Structures are given as C-alpha cells and as structure tokens.
Structure 1
Amino acid sequence: MSRPSTFTPPPGARAHLLRTPRGEFAVIEAGTAVKGTVLLVPGFTGSKEDFIGLHEPLAEAGYRTVAVDGRGQYESPGDVDDEAPYAQVELARDLLAQAETVSDGSPVHLVGHSLGGQISRAALLLDASPFASLTLMSSGPAQISVGQQQRVKLLRDALAVMDMQQVWDAIQAMEAPEPEETQTGALDEGLDDRAELRRRWLATSPAQLIATGRQLCAEPDRVAELAAVTLPKHVLSGERDDTWPIPILDDMAVRLHAHRTIIRDAEHSPNTDQPKATADALIGFWDRIAR
C-alpha cells in the first residue's frame, strides 16, 4: 500500500471533482500551465494523494498538475460489486476523457505510477493524440513479480469472503510492529497516517481492487506496440523495486528507446519516497522535450 507523506493538498492546490464525458473523478490540481499540463495516474491501492509531494516543485517549474483518483479509487465513484467497469480498456477510456477535459488545447504530459502506468499505456495505444509524453513510473512491461502476484492473490481471495473493514483489520494485524519497536517510538511517525490510510481503503471499491489485481497478474508484454508509437517516453523508478525488478525496467527502457531515470534512496514509490528528486527528473525530461 502506497503511503503518501500527507493527505492534505499543498498551498495553492485545490481538490475538486473533474467532470468528463465518462463521469466525475476526484482530483487535486495545482499550478498554471506555463509550460504544459501534467496528468498523474496512481497505482494499485493508491490515490491522487500519492503525488502530493510533486505539486509544488512542478508548479514552480511552470507545469500545471492534475492528480486523479481513477474510477472506484478513493474519492471517485465506482461500482462496488460489478468488475466490468474496471476492465483495462474502460479505465483507459476514462483516462482519455480526463486528458481531454484537462487539456487547454495542447497535448498533456502523462505520468502513470505502477498499475497507473499500465493503464496509461493502454490509453496511449488507443489514442496517442492527447499526449505530449509518457512517463512510466515504477511500471513494468508485463505482469508483476511472482512474489507480488502471490500477495495480490491473497488480497483477491480475502475480498471474495470479507468486507473492506475485515480485510483492513487483517492487513493491520499482519503489519503490526514488533513490541520493542513500538516501545522505542521508532514507528510513531509512520503510524500518524493510519486513520487517513484506513479512510482511503474503506472508500475504495472492492470490485476495482479485484479486477485491477487480476490485470496486474496477467498483463501481457506490450512494449513493442508502445515502442511503435512516436512519442517521447521516460522510464523512472527507484533503485530498488520488488514489483518489477530494476533489470526488467532497464531492459524495457532500452526496448522503448526511452529516457531512463533511477531515483536514489527510493523503492517502488519514488513519488512518495523522494518527491523532490522525482519532480526534478520529470522537469528535466519535459524541458528537454521542449528544447
């Protein structure tokens, strides 16, 4: 589960509902599109809050940012029982509608984290015209690693027989700190966000988690298709990743002829682990495109 540094939008940002031809989506928006607009797409169990640390530095560099909750994610409405609305092609069409709505007439820079990267890829393969560039952030070429597939299967099995509160309680029991760690206070800072994480979890659609979890475990390799699309591409990750190991991401970047960035001291979520370095890498990539 991604852990945003905060759930509070930074100064100058605003949370609102984005109305599109595909429905309403909760977003956090910041900045003015001096250089362009950026659409930020979160990953599995994530939300728009995963990008909170990026808004200020990107806005200062002249980029308008729009981070979105996908259908059934956190504050965006979605069916809780029916998995059909969460088919990858449907989520990709949602993303195209979001891009059309946020665009000021110019193509949009697209950033997809993890699952969000694979949905972004699917959207771009449907229609690349709304986009100025694609950044795949900690998002690999095909299905997730075997270890992560096992974790996702456990979650899907649990959601089939338990409600979201029961699954949350089970997750917390498995992640409970050791007694001596609790006594030293070493984990106090990490526990401060527990209430917000629980609220996000309970607001997320179980059907969305089941459907997208299945996608992550069965995603085919579509790198050759994506490489054939003429668009600037960027593969960004931390220096460690147990969802898609770094050599797999390195190879994907070569196959895509993509710019490659590795963020030091970051793992699967460089956007929350090292937001300033991640923002700098994104700005550098987009500014080079403009030049």
Structure 2
Amino acid sequence: MTTPSPFVPPPGARAYALRTARGEFAVVDAPVAAGVEPRGVALLVPGFTGSKEDFHLLHEPLAARGYRTVAVDGRGQNESDGPADDEAPYAQDELARDLLAQADALGTPVHLMGRSLGGQVARAAVLLDPAPFVSFTLMSSGPARISESQQQRVKLLHDALAVMTMAEVWQVITLMGPPEEVGGPARGFGGPELLRQRWLNHKPAQLLATGKQLCVEPDRVAELAAVPLPLHVLSGARDDTWPVPLLDEMAQRLGAHRTVISGAEHSPNADRPGATAEAFADFWDAHPPHH
C-alpha cells in the first residue's frame, strides 16, 4: 500500500506519474472545465526549488478558458525521482530532453510555459526541438544568468548543502527569510510543513547542479529568436532575479509578446494568479494549435 501524497491537487485536477521514454514524472493534470470548448494543452515547468504545486492557482482559471494544464515536477524535484548525489543527470541538456519526453508523452502539441529556471530549461528544449510546441512563454525567466544578489544566495545555499543535511539547511533558510528562489511562495500551496516536506523531497544533486546553471547560463536570446514559435515574456512589475528592464529588452530582442503583471514580483503565478492565467490564455487563444 503506497502512502498517499501530502501534496493534494486542486479541485478537479489529478496527480499521477506521467510515464515517458525517460522515466516517470509526477504531474498535476487539470482537464478543461465541464461544458467549455477545449482550446489546447499547456505544459507548466517550475523553477529552482519549485515544483508542480507552484501552479495550483492557475489550473482552475485556465480550465475555464478551455485549457488542459499539466504541471510537472522535473527530475529530482519534489515527487519526481532522481539521484541524490550524482549531478550528471541534472545537466541542462538532460533536463531539456526530459521535457521533450514529457511533451511527447502527452501526445499532442503543447503550449510550453517555463518559470524562472524552468524557463531556461524549456528554452534549451525548444532549441533542441521546437516541433512538440505550439508556443513558448517565459515567466520571470531572463536572457542569461541571474543577478549578482541572487548568485550570492545560490552560493550560500551551495555552501550550506556541502556541509549540512537538507533538514538543517531548511532551518537556516527559514531563519534567513526565503530568497526569491528558495522556499517560497506558500500561497496556494499549503502551510509551512508542506513547504518543508517539498524541500526535503528535493534531491541535493538537483539543487547543486541547477543552482550552478542559474549562475552561468549564457545569453541564448538570438538562438531562440530564430525559432519559428510564438513567444511570450511575462513577469511581475518587480523582479530581483532578473531586473524587469532586462526582461523588457529580452522581449524586444525576441520579438515576443510582453506582459507585465502589476502588483506581482518573481512569482506572478502566486502573487496574481487570476491576471497571470488571463494573460496566458489570451496569448494562447491568439496562437491556436494547427489542426
């Protein structure tokens, strides 16, 4: 008898293991709302220290707009398995291939949305093979490496993970106040105990490998601009991980649709889920899958 997951999906959604050619990945899969004309399928990719639960507040409004949404735990994130100590399987190219396998397993072209680190992994996937995707939205995800201040925080986390257990590191994080990329946000997610459980579920090697990626990611905007996919850059009005003017400039370089969610910071999905879902659906409506 398997223990039921403490991570309860939102109403109407189903949590299960998506079987792919590259193994199983934990997903939350929310169908189109009853009586609504289906308009497409979206794959939602979380950020550093994040998980599928970050998108809980988006499923319902997107279902009402005709979109089935599938939020995924990447390899080594929360309820998706991965090695605890070997960083090689978490190389960006490996994570990008995981994403292509997830899209393939869904069996239909998908609108791809990646948040923060997830945006950079998703970008790598699109650059490997854009074919499975109808459109690509980068949420709170910048052109290259993260800001100096966030690099310092990732380095602190890296140093802590080298000498402490995950449980000890979590205590430090909660005392320090969570940086943008660590531990939060709790809204729509559950209480502090669930956040702690998610943290403990993360594989240290995944955090170490992806933390390094965030600090060295090159600018691949020109490569992405050359891909014939509709692109969308969405962010809050404030962002400490990638300053908003940098995101504005990236959108221009990409020729992308640009949305700024007022009153939101690095997690528009949690800060203003209604407005964020609306912006996604408006963009997707303008770029339906070809039949």
**TM-score calculated relative to the size of structure 2:** 0.91
1:175 CA drift (Å):
2.6
1:173 CA drift (Å):
2.1
1:72 CA drift (Å):
0.1
Question: Per the alignment, do residues 208 and 192 of structure 1 end up closer, same or farther by CA in structure 2, a change over 3 Å counting?
Answer: closer
| Structure 2 equivalent of residue 91 of structure 1 | 95
1:190 CA drift (Å):
11
Give, as a single letter, the amino acid of the residue that structure 2 aligns with 1:261. T
The separation in 1 between residues aligned to 2:123 and 2:10, in whole angstroms, is 29
The separation in 1 between residues aligned to 2:152 and 2:139, in whole angstroms, is 22
1:103 CA drift (Å):
2.7
1:15 CA drift (Å):
0.5
Deviations along 1:201-232, one digit per CA (max 9) or x if unpaired, are 00000000000000000000000000000000
The separation in 2 between residues aligned to 1:95 and 1:121, in whole angstroms, is 10
How many residues align structurally? Answer: 273
Q: Does 1:73 align with 2:71?
A: no
The separation in 2 between residues aligned to 1:279 and 1:161, in whole angstroms, is 40
> Gapped runs of 5+ residues in structure 2?
1-5, 179-186
| Structure 2 equivalent of residue 82 of structure 1 | 86
| Structure 2 equivalent of residue 195 of structure 1 | 193
Give, as a single letter, the amino acid of the residue that structure 2 aligns with 1:205. K
| Structure 2 equivalent of residue 261 of structure 1 | 259
The separation in 1 between residues aligned to 2:20 and 2:14, in whole angstroms, is 18
1:191 CA drift (Å):
12
The separation in 1 between residues aligned to 2:41 and 2:154, in whole angstroms, is 33
1:70 CA drift (Å):
0.1
The separation in 1 between residues aligned to 2:286 and 2:174, in whole angstroms, is 44
Q: How does 1:123-142 map to 2 (within 5 A)?
A: 123-142=125-144
Contact 2:54 2:188 in 1 (8 A): no
Q: Does 1:53 align with 2:57?
A: yes
> Gapped runs of 5+ residues in structure 1?
1-5, 177-188
Deviations along 1:8-64, one digit per CA (max 9) or x if unpaired, are 322110100000000000000011381111000000000000000010111111111
Contact 1:31 1:60 in 2 (8 A): no
| Structure 2 equivalent of residue 279 of structure 1 | 277
Deviations along 1:105-138, one digit per CA (max 9) or x if unpaired, are xx11000000000000000000000000000000
Name which of structure 1's ranges 139-148 and 155-164 shifts more when overlaid on structure 2: 155-164
1:158 CA drift (Å):
0.7
The separation in 1 between residues aligned to 2:206 and 2:188, in whole angstroms, is 26
The separation in 2 between residues aligned to 1:118 and 1:259, in whole angstroms, is 18
Contact 1:27 1:69 in 2 (8 A): yes
Q: How does 1:128-277 map to 2 (within 5 A)?
A: 128-175=130-177, 193-277=191-275
Give, as a single letter, the amino acid of the residue that structure 2 aligns with 1:195. E
Deviations along 1:183-209, one digit per CA (max 9) or x if unpaired, are xxxxxx999711000000000000000
- Write 1 or 2 for the structure with the bigger share of helix: 1
Q: Does 1:121 align with 2:119?
A: no
Identity %: 68
